[in-house]
Structure 1
């Protein structure tokens, strides 16, 4: 099943059921008005939506209209929880190597997670407004899951059944603000502005065999200013799968329905696949040449993030955003 949230002028948008090929869509107010309402009562409402989804794909919904990604907010325009992991330890290893630091062994056994701002996500086609290029503007191409209610202390084996939807992420990062914040020993805040999510969220079964072991086994494709930047495979070199990430986040607290858990930047040891953020490219340049040669994003730069199925058809729609100057 595929779902979106249209911008209807309200904070949480209008829940839309979207056809498998992303060609048609229909509102489902008789079932749920918003994505959060759906997630809150997933077990009750999902079977009703599934029946409508099959009818939509068969062309049997008379009031279906053409799907328009430009009308989409992030699937959850705001959420009660947004926790982003760093499941590709290869990426973390590069960060530390570039600055000559050893990596603790615990990084291979205990996931890194930070709690992001979830009160105001940016739409997948909306501009990214930032006040200064000096902040070191970067994109991070990722995957995220949305859960239903997750009990505290859930095991990794049990966590997978709580994963209801998947979507793509642009976890915008301000790299030049990060060192100063981390030096205080209290984590990110200003260095992590609002994130963006793909137009469409999908149930795991939509990925077929490409969803295995709580991982998405497909390349995540990023273009920067219309040029291919990277297409690392999200199922390769993922040290901690999504079930493990959900279990880790829920170790000391329950998660409310609609919690979003991110994978962190997709990264492969095979460097020919490219990267999913500018920071990783800069780190590789630093390791090879002693200094980076790739600059961070400037006002007017555009990033596009998407994932294609085995038939080269888009699964989630695309995140396609331009960085613009915020003037208050």
Structure 2
């Protein structure tokens, strides 16, 4: 089942979307918003699922679904935390700053708490007030949870995942070093993130969803050219059950919490940091990784960070070539 939100008020209006993302049916006569559905999942999910089946059989009134008209599935959430499922990315970022990766990072995930009071839609522009801040995209997988009790095990945590989607976790790379030097983590260097047009139930992902990991190629284009064709499942060190359990170690988690995988990242088969797509590699899911690889290879980063007019696109497709979550497709603007 696929769900989305259309603009209405501050929290959007819940709709059910067909598997091919071509049609939608209003769901607000059952439950008004996605957050309200997540708050009372057991009560409303059977009715929403029945509505989805009726939509699939064209048995109810339906309308054309246009991704550009959707807002973020959750325009605001009670919590947004980002993890480090792809340790290769973390290792490359350490190398970028001349630091070694602690061995514990392979067994104990990193996680930071970001701003959740406003998520942007998939077609909303990326606003960067100052290009000197080093604007970057980060293509990631996200899950949305129901209520999770404190102390839940990784296996128990998997049962509380309600929805799966994509996110562009925008970063301002040149602001990060100063913030991290303070020892308190990201604030200014992490502006609003952009969510995929639709979120999908784990069951609807079929074989692509196994043991808390999503398999498949995450396609990232910059200015219409392939930038990343990274595999989401192969080097995912920490599954989402482990990430959720890490967060729930000392507190319960509220329904509607969004948890990110961190930037999807691959190495080459020989263990090297990876190559750009034009060179036969899988490329990268953020500019910072490509810049790091360039620095390691030649001593100088040549790929620029985002500038006004740049376009960024992120999408995953199923085995039949159909878009799973819809595309995050944006233009960079100053201001």
Pick aligned residue for 2:294 from 285, 291, 309? 285
SS at match of 1:96: helix
SS at match of 2:92: helix
1:155-166 alignment runs, 5 A limit? 155-166=153-164
SS at match of 1:177: helix
Counterpart of 2:23? 24
Pick aligned residue for 2:151 from 153, 175, 190? 153
SS at match of 2:159: helix
Cα deviation digits, residues 86-129 of structure 1 (max 9, x gap): 11001111112233311111101110111000001111101122
Structure 2 segments unaligned to the other structure (5+ residues): 269-273, 275-280
SS at match of 2:164: strand
Counterpart of 1:312? 321
Counterpart of 2:4? 4
1:69-108 alignment runs, 5 A limit? 69-108=67-106
1:38 equivalent to 2:37? Answer: yes
Counterpart of 1:229? 227
Pick aligned residue for 1:205 from 200, 203, 206? 203
Instruction: Measure how far apart 1:30 and its partner are.
Output: 2.2
Structure 1 segments unaligned to the other structure (5+ residues): none
TM-score norm. by structure 1 comes to: 0.97
Counterpart of 2:331? 322
Distance 2:97 2:253 in 1: 35
Distance 2:97 2:177 in 1: 12
Distance 2:59 2:114 in 1: 41
Instruction: Measure how far apart 1:237 and its partner are.
Output: 0.7
Distance 2:245 2:189 in 1: 26
Counterpart of 2:261? 263
SS at match of 1:257: coil
Pick aligned residue for 1:65 from 63, 66, 73? 63
Cα deviation digits, residues 143-189 of structure 1 (max 9, x gap): 10000000111110110000010010000000000000000111000
Distance 2:7 2:226 in 1: 30
SS at match of 2:226: strand
Counterpart of 2:278? none
SS at match of 2:31: coil
Cα deviation digits, residues 264-313 of structure 1 (max 9, x gap): 00001122111000000001011111111101000111100110000111
TM-score norm. by structure 2 comes to: 0.95
The alignment covers a number of residue pairs equal to 324
SS at match of 1:74: coil
Counterpart of 1:187? 185
What is the RMSD of the two structures over their aligned residues, measured on CA atoms?
Answer: 0.8
Distance 1:123 1:243 in 2: 26
Distance 2:26 2:53 in 1: 15
